[in-house]
Amino acid sequence: MWKSCLGLTRPRAATLASRSRILSRNIWRSSVVKTNAGLAAHLTQAAASAAALRPRSSTVAADLSEQLPDVSPDDLPIISSGDRKVAVGWDTRTWSRFHNIWLRDHCRCPKCFHPVTKQRLLNTFEIPPDIKPVRIESKPQGLEVSWPSTEPHISLYPWSWLQRNSYDPVIKKTETVPEKILWGAKIEQSPPSVTYEEAMAGDDKGLFKWLTNIEKFGFSFIQGVPPTPEATQKLTERIGFIRETQYGKFWDFTSDLAMGDTAYTTLALGAHTDTTYFTDPCGLQLFHLLSHTDGTGGASLLVDGFYAASILKELHPDAYDLLSTVNIPSHAAGEPGVLYRPSPPSGYPVLSHDAESGELVQVRWNNDDRSVMHGLEPGRVEEWYDAIRKWNSCLTSPDSEFWVQLQPGTAWVVDNHRVLHGRSAFDGKRRMCGAYVGVDEYRSKLAVLTEKFAPDAVLQATSELPYVVVNGRNIWNSAL
Ligand SMILES: C[N+](C)(C)CCCC[C@H](N)C(=O)O
Ligand SMILES: O=C(O)CCC(=O)C(=O)O
């Protein structure tokens, strides 16, 4: 008998088929989950707030977004200029304050901000530290500020942009963070998928659907892919250029130890993320099974690391905190010509969080590639092993594991910073191909497609203003 992280016991004889039995569903919608009370309580709570994935020590500024009215031309914000700041009154109770120096530094007129390259032209260090506006005005398009200078220098700050970038206090009026949908094994019923035709279509609508799947779920299938390395490489390159590693650029591999890694064997591989030994682990990983003859096994495993982490946090918060703080060294040493370790060599925690929001942003876990644990305090060694046992139980629980026997023609891509993958042992001749894409290339493509197909409120509100959209890009884009 073995124990899952939920204290459930399951017969060891669980077969692949029974492991595909599913218990959980998207926990963000707090749906009923047929598992023990502890998890059900967790799912309800986790569905209530994204806070479920923050370390307990983090704090996040109050979110005033619900209270703010949209700015209308006949109801413009009240503005006032103080000694060092400009205040903007959104309504009687909600004010934002911006330092004069901050406003001047963020002027985006063509003289201060290159309209094509989107780079700052203004010399920040020539701004007088005590700069004050000579005039401020509340205009329909935004806050207009006239600065002291030999010739008139007027800056316009769109209201929606000021709301989004308000820091005193923080308000997230126009922040549209794409929803992440956590999933367990029940995703098997309706996994995110696109067709090869959609992904390859020149209008990029299908490509946006594909990347939106990955953004929301951390993975996506691609159906109807011609079972060739060439077609699979072209498919991958729709997202961005392939990230070349010691395994080559586009891989076409089998169990012949052509490279010094267990991926090139018939062994089972437990749920892991790849390239934990790189300072910057690969962002996406695409796999396409080209053939498997004269043998069985080789099923593919996917686990939503964010889902598993949310369970760990709810049921074992101390373990969650430990995995969020203890650095894990990792290596790739199977090829004589390479010996990879991250920088710094002490590595990174299993669970990494956004320093500003406190949100979980990366899972980095490959117990096979883990090096000697140097950094543990003696008194925490056994506690740490207990924590990774609990983590492993959450990863290997039938609630979390999504097993699928891939066939040629169906590829899958995972966000290697969130979703863990693995495979069951196999025999016979099995040929797999695929490639990595860097996390920045993936997020850049998603940002470009979002700009085109799902512009946020600031882009919509400012696109008609003069000098704003140049070279196809809005100078008020939230990424700048
Ligand atoms: C994907 N490909 C077959 C090229 C190599 C896989 C390397 C796996 C390695 N242990 C890691 O976790 O990064
Ligand atoms: O062979 C497979 O199905 C997956 C191999 C794997 O996990 C990897 O290459 O990282």
Residue 320 Cβ inside 6 Å of ligand 1? The answer reads: no
pLDDT, residue 72, reads 85
pLDDT, residue 66, reads 56
pLDDT, residue 60, reads 37
Q: Are strands 419-423 and 269-272 parallel, antiparallel or unpaired?
A: antiparallel
Question: Cα(22) to centroid of ligand 2, in Å?
Answer: 23
| Digitized pLDDT (tens) for each residue of the chain, 480 residues in all | 334 454 433 333 334 444 444 334 343 333 323 334 444 454 444 443 344 465 444 333 445 555 566 788 889 999 999 999 999 999 888 999 999 999 999 999 999 999 999 999 999 999 999 999 999 999 999 999 999 988 889 999 999 999 999 999 998 655 566 789 999 999 999 999 999 999 999 999 999 999 999 999 999 999 999 999 999 999 999 999 999 999 999 999 999 999 999 999 999 999 999 999 999 999 999 999 999 999 999 999 999 999 999 999 999 999 999 999 999 999 999 999 999 999 999 999 999 999 988 999 999 999 999 999 988 999 999 999 999 999 999 999 999 999 999 999 999 999 999 999 999 999 999 999 999 999 999 999 999 999 999 998 889 989 988 889 999 999 999 999
Distance between CA atoms of residues 255 and 236, nearest Å: 23
Distance between CA atoms of residues 98 and 324, nearest Å: 34
Distance between CA atoms of residues 81 and 445, nearest Å: 40
- Which 3-state string (H, E, C) describes 180-245? CCCCCHHHHHCCCEEEHHHHHCCCCHHHHHHHHHHHHHCEEEEECCCCCHHHHHHHHHCCCCEECE
Residue 433 Cβ inside 6 Å of ligand 2? The answer reads: no
Question: Cα(424) to centroid of ligand 2, in Å?
Answer: 10
Query: Residue 148's closest CA among 167, 135, 164, 163?
Result: 135
Q: Which ligand is nearest to the CA of 365?
A: 1
pLDDT, residue 320, reads 98
Residue 275 Cβ inside 6 Å of ligand 1? The answer reads: yes
* Residue with CA closest to ligand 2 atom 7: 422
pLDDT, residue 311, reads 98
The 8-class DSSP code of residue 263 comes to G
Structure tokens belonging to residue 246: 């010691």
Residue 272 Cβ inside 6 Å of ligand 1? The answer reads: yes
For domain 185-437, give the CATH number. 3.60.130.10
Q: Which ligand is nearest to the CA of 243?
A: 1
Could you give the residue range(s) of every CATH 3.60.130.10 domain in the chain?
Answer: 185-437
Residue 263 Cβ inside 6 Å of ligand 1? The answer reads: yes
pLDDT, residue 280, reads 97
Domain 45-177+456-474 = CATH 3.30.2020.30:
yes
Q: Backbone dihedral region of 473: left (phi > 0), alpha (psi from -120 to 50 degrees) or beta?
A: beta
User: DSSP per residue over 350-397, as a string?
Assistant: SEEE-TTT--EEEE---TTSB----S--GGGHHHHHHHHHHHHHHHHS
* ipTM above threshold 0.95: yes
pTM of the model as a whole:
0.86
pLDDT, residue 92, reads 85
pLDDT, residue 178, reads 73
pLDDT, residue 13, reads 38
pLDDT, residue 14, reads 39
Distance between CA atoms of residues 212 and 257, nearest Å: 35
Could you give the residue range(s) of every CATH 3.30.2020.30 domain in the chain?
Answer: 45-177+456-474
Pocket test for ligand 1, best of 249, 262, 269, 275 (most atoms within 8 A of CB): 275
* Composition of the chain by helix, strand, coil, percent to 5: 30, 25, 50
Residue 253 Cβ inside 6 Å of ligand 1? The answer reads: yes
pLDDT, residue 173, reads 52
Q: Could you tell me if 187 and 217 are in contact, meaning their C-beta atoms sit under 8 angstroms apart?
A: yes
pLDDT, residue 48, reads 38
